[in-house]
Amino acid sequence: TLSDRLADTFKQLRGKGRLSEADIDATAREIRIALLEADVALPVVKEFVAAVKERARGAEVTGALNPAQQVVKIVNEELVTILGGETRRIRFAKNPPTVIMLAGLQGAGKTTLAAKLALWLKGQGKSPMLVAADLQRPNAVKQLQVNGERAGVTVFAPEPGNGVGDPVAVARTAIDEARRTLHDVVIVDTAGRLGVDAEMMQQAADIRDAVQPDEVLFVVDAMIGQDAVSTAQAFLDGVGFDGVVLTKLDGDARGGAALSIRSVTGRPVMFASSGEKLTDFDLFHPDRMASRILDMGDMLSLIEQAEKSFDVAQAEKAAAKLTGQGGDFTLEDFLEQMQAVRKMGSLSKILGMLPGAGQMREQLENFDEREIDRIQAIILSMTPAERANPKMIDGSRRARISRGSGTKVSDVNTLVDRFFEAKKMMQTMARGGGIPGMPGMPG
């Protein structure tokens, strides 16, 4: 999967203090593949990746994230910005009714959406009316009536005198009817074809001219992938629209269509439809869509977590102590570090995120969570004096500590020995003596 591939790229990058041009290129390549796999249109991918590279070059390296994670963070932020840059709500007319017209291919989900939107508006205190201006398919009117009934809203359908067979007349009559019956929002459902078709476009444009909608919403099935761009372009040229509704997000489409349509047409995605139930509908959330497109929800939440929990000041304090500049490194500090790590969640997940702690990380990788619990219990069973000065922990103290922590005396011995070893090793490293045991290194 993409996450795995990116993780591989990032493995090579981790531990680096700064991103080289080659690193940026390698990461950009993976991001590019990710976007293409999410069905983002190629020209949009190119432009986007170029923008990300630009930002990555100037990225500052912070304590909490390694450079690769920083690139992912940049990508995510850019995606969210582009997807949500100009997101806006429905503009209601000063003089009701507000007219909302739906346009899109057959099967896009317009009729379903009409009822979802009506229910949603009703929940906001509006009094919507649905208009059946799709007279193309035999069942279309009936379908809207059924959906409208489920939503508990009025449906205006063609009848003798309402313009049977003429969707433009139906739509026009409906607006008058809404005004008369004090409905403040009118949602006009229109016909679609399986493909873009001049006659259908003309009909939609005629309805538009007749009802002068406040909003034209282009409804598009997220599953149609790369075709979304050309379809959107055709509707933009033929009818014009103000916003986009993405449907069938409950399917497995990664949703790149959202980014493509947004970039190519300049029109924002306003709503997301994600199921057959009328309540499977929401305002569009750029952040959710961004992580869906990237398919990296796990990594994104890790990044967020790391930023939240990584206390730079604390890390610096510990580092200073290790190098002998901030007083002696004690078991108390050891425990504090342990707890900071614990705060970040599961250790195994976090290992990849520790910036520039190569040797330390390898040691940590051999730890398991239970061992941390044990270490924590042992240190907590020590007196403050013992924690500050582990040298004083003699045989009888070890026996007491092991009883207090519910561990074996040998566990206490191991911990104390390890602490001294680690401390010695770190002080050697801090003096520039190299890493003991490394090939070609002294020690």
Interface positions with ligand GDP (CB under 6 A): 104, 106-112, 192, 247-248, 250, 273-276, 280
CB closer to Mg ion out of 97 and 192: 192
Residues numbered 113-142 forming contacts with Mg ion, rule: CB under 5 A = none
Is there a binding annotation on residue 248? yes
- Name which of ligand GDP, Mg ion, none residue 274 binds, using a CB cut-off of 5 to 8 Å depending on partner kind: ligand GDP
Is there a binding annotation on residue 112? no
Find the part of the chain contacting Mg ion (CB under 5 A) among 106-114, 160-168, 230-238, 409-417.
106-114
Find the part of the chain contacting Mg ion (CB under 5 A) among 103-111, 226-234, 383-391, 398-406.
103-111
The least distance separating Mg ion from the CB of residue 228, rounded to whole angstroms, comes to 18
- Name which of ligand GDP, Mg ion, none residue 250 binds, using a CB cut-off of 5 to 8 Å depending on partner kind: ligand GDP
CB closer to Mg ion out of 26 and 113: 113
CB closer to ligand GDP out of 6 and 130: 130
Q: Smallest Cα–Cα separation from 336: which of 403, 404, 408, 388?
A: 388
- Name which of Mg ion, ligand GDP, none residue 275 binds, using a CB cut-off of 5 to 8 Å depending on partner kind: ligand GDP
Is there a binding annotation on residue 191? yes
CB closer to ligand GDP out of 151 and 299: 151
Is there a binding annotation on residue 110? yes
CB closer to ligand GDP out of 64 and 108: 108
Core vs surface per residue 152-181: b (16+ CB within 10 A) or e: ebbbbbbeeebbeebbbbbbbbbbebbeee
Count of residues that interact with Mg ion, criterion CB under 5 A: 2
Strand partners, 246: 220, 272
Q: Smallest Cα–Cα separation from 376: which of 343, 329, 353?
A: 343
Find the part of the chain contacting Mg ion (CB under 5 A) among 111-119, 203-211, 214-222, 238-246.
111-119
CA angle 186, 191, 193 (to 5 degrees): 150
Cα separation of 88 and 68, whole Å?
Answer: 33
What's the half-sphere exposure (Cβ side, CA atoms, 13 Å) at 343?
A: 12
Nearest residue to Mg ion by CB is 111
CB closer to ligand GDP out of 248 and 262: 248
Task: Determine if 111 is a binding residue for Mg ion (CB under 5 A).
Answer: yes
The least distance separating Mg ion from the CB of residue 39, rounded to whole angstroms, comes to 24
Cα separation of 275 and 293, whole Å?
Answer: 19
Task: Determine if 203 is a binding residue for Mg ion (CB under 5 A).
Answer: no
Is there a binding annotation on residue 308? no
Find the part of the chain contacting Mg ion (CB under 5 A) among 107-115, 151-159, 220-228, 422-430.
107-115
Q: Residue 358: exposed, middle, or buried by beta-carbon count in 10 A (0-12, 13-18, 19+)?
A: exposed
Helix residue ranges per DSSP H, 96-197: 110-123, 140-151, 167-180
337 Rama class: left (phi>0) / alpha (psi -120 to 50) / beta? alpha
The tokens for 187 are 């949602």
Task: Determine if 402 is a binding residue for Mg ion (CB under 5 A).
Answer: no
Is there a binding annotation on residue 104? yes
| Cis preceding linkage at 97, omega within 30 | yes
- Name which of ligand GDP, Mg ion, none residue 345 binds, using a CB cut-off of 5 to 8 Å depending on partner kind: none
Q: Smallest Cα–Cα separation from 116: which of 276, 289, 253?
A: 276
For residue 18, count other CB atoms closer than 10 A to its CB. 9
Cα separation of 274 and 424, whole Å?
Answer: 58
CB closer to ligand GDP out of 274 and 428: 274
The least distance separating ligand GDP from the CB of residue 82, rounded to whole angstroms, comes to 23
Binding site for Mg ion (CB under 5 A): 110-111
